[in-house]
Amino acid sequence: MTLDELLAEGRRAWPMLSADPPVTDILRRKDAAPDGDLGTFDAAEVFLAAALLGGDAAAPGAFEQRYFSVIDAVLDRAGATRDELDEVRQVLRKRLLVPPGDGPPRLVDYCGEGRLAGLLRIAATRALVNLRTKRRPGGGLDQLAEHVAAELDPQRAILKQQERTDVADAIRAAARGLSQRARTLLRLNLVDGLSVDELGRVFQLHRSNAARQLARARDELIAGTRARLAERWGSDAAALELISSSLDVTLGRVLATGSTWGGGKPPPA
């Protein structure tokens, strides 16, 4: 297959995409000579990768329309709930379509050899396993609760050990009372370290809309935590006032800076 033949096949496969994406750049990334025999490549995948590399705004949606049915099928066989299906989709959008730093989306390097559907099945299965693992005690938002309680400086030393345990329990319960969307936003931002811009790309939202939804989830978490602590300690407890102000500062600081709780990077795809 020549370069012209590859381009013609790619255009037939993706008529909604730009007709001239940087296909030669993709071939060079894969150590292939554009003027050589390209018969080992999947033309449709190479063309999609080139559209993503070139920043074609239609490419992410075209990818989802064609390939998310593969993800849905494997998750259905694994007994995934509707919430799990939605969250795995969001995780894979973030891993595959959100560029890491200044580089191209990871999906660019997955395309080209005719193995994309199989790789997506593996990625979806792993994402579902990771999601279910995070929902066990000590994972995901449970981990978030422990970190928030530990981040309540500079007043942390004033709290008794039992009060710190109460705070973590209250945050955990408040997080579980949030909507699925709010929990996912908070986990991706606070645990996995996604910025507001990255959340917007993952959820296909304008940046301002993503910021509003994240702030609303934060406020709901704080209000729910306060309510649960007031039930446990009494509404006039001195520690409750301390925790209330510290929660505002702690969550506000983290959301403003976009830092992660553990100081690390999001887990690899």
Question: Sorting pLDDT into bands at 50, 70 and 90, what band is 154?
Answer: very low
Instruction: Flag whether pLDDT at 258 surpasses 70.
Output: no
Q: Does 21 share its domain with 35? A: yes
Share of the chain above pLDDT 70, in %: 72
Q: Is cis: bond before 267, omega within 30 of 0?
A: no
> Per the domain annotation, does 69 fall within a domain?
yes
Boundary residue ending a domain (133, 157, 183): 133
Residue 237 confidence (pLDDT) = 66
**Alpha helix segments (H runs only) across 54-206:** 59-77, 82-97, 107-110, 116-134, 140-150, 161-176, 180-186, 196-203
Q: Does 111 share its domain with 64? A: yes
Q: Does 240 share its domain with 126? A: no
Of 208, 184, 180, the closest CA to residue 196 belongs to 208
Residue 49 confidence (pLDDT) = 93
Average pLDDT of the chain, as a whole number:
78
Task: Return the sign of the alpha-carbon dihedral for residues 172, 174, 175, 180.
Answer: positive
Q: Does 25 share its domain with 63? A: yes
Q: Does 15 share its domain with 79? A: yes
Q: Does 58 share its domain with 170? A: no
The torsion of the CA quartet 111, 13, 55, 103, rounded to 10 degrees, works out to 0
pLDDT per residue as tens digits for the range 79-95: 888 888 888 998 898 88
Of 175, 154, 171, the closest CA to residue 232 belongs to 171
Task: Report CA-CA distances (Å) from 83 to 19, 79, 86, 180, 209.
Answer: 37, 12, 5, 7, 21
> Per the domain annotation, does 172 fall within a domain?
yes
Structure token pair of residue 263: 């100081």
Query: Which residues constitute the domain of residue 251?
Result: 137-257
Question: Sorting pLDDT into bands at 50, 70 and 90, what band is 236?
Answer: low
Is the distance from CB of 148 to CB of 251 less than 8 angstroms? yes
Residue 231 confidence (pLDDT) = 85
> Per the domain annotation, does 263 fall within a domain?
no
Rounded average pLDDT over 101-109: 85
Residue 1 confidence (pLDDT) = 86
Q: Does 151 share its domain with 204? A: yes
Residue 56 confidence (pLDDT) = 92
Quote the CA–CA distance of 81 and 261 in Å, as a whole number: 28
Boundary residue ending a domain (65, 99, 133): 133
CB atoms within 10 A of CB 217: 24
CB atoms within 10 A of CB 69: 10
Boundary residue ending a domain (99, 133, 167): 133
Place of tokens 């099928």: 73
DSSP state of 265: P
pLDDT per residue as tens digits for the range 193-211: 667 877 776 676 788 888 8
Structure token pair of residue 18: 């730009």
> Per the domain annotation, does 152 fall within a domain?
yes
Please tell me which residue, 247 or 26, carries the higher pLDDT value.
26
Is the distance from CB of 222 to CB of 247 less than 8 angstroms? yes
Q: Does 95 share its domain with 82? A: yes
Q: Does 113 share its domain with 214? A: no
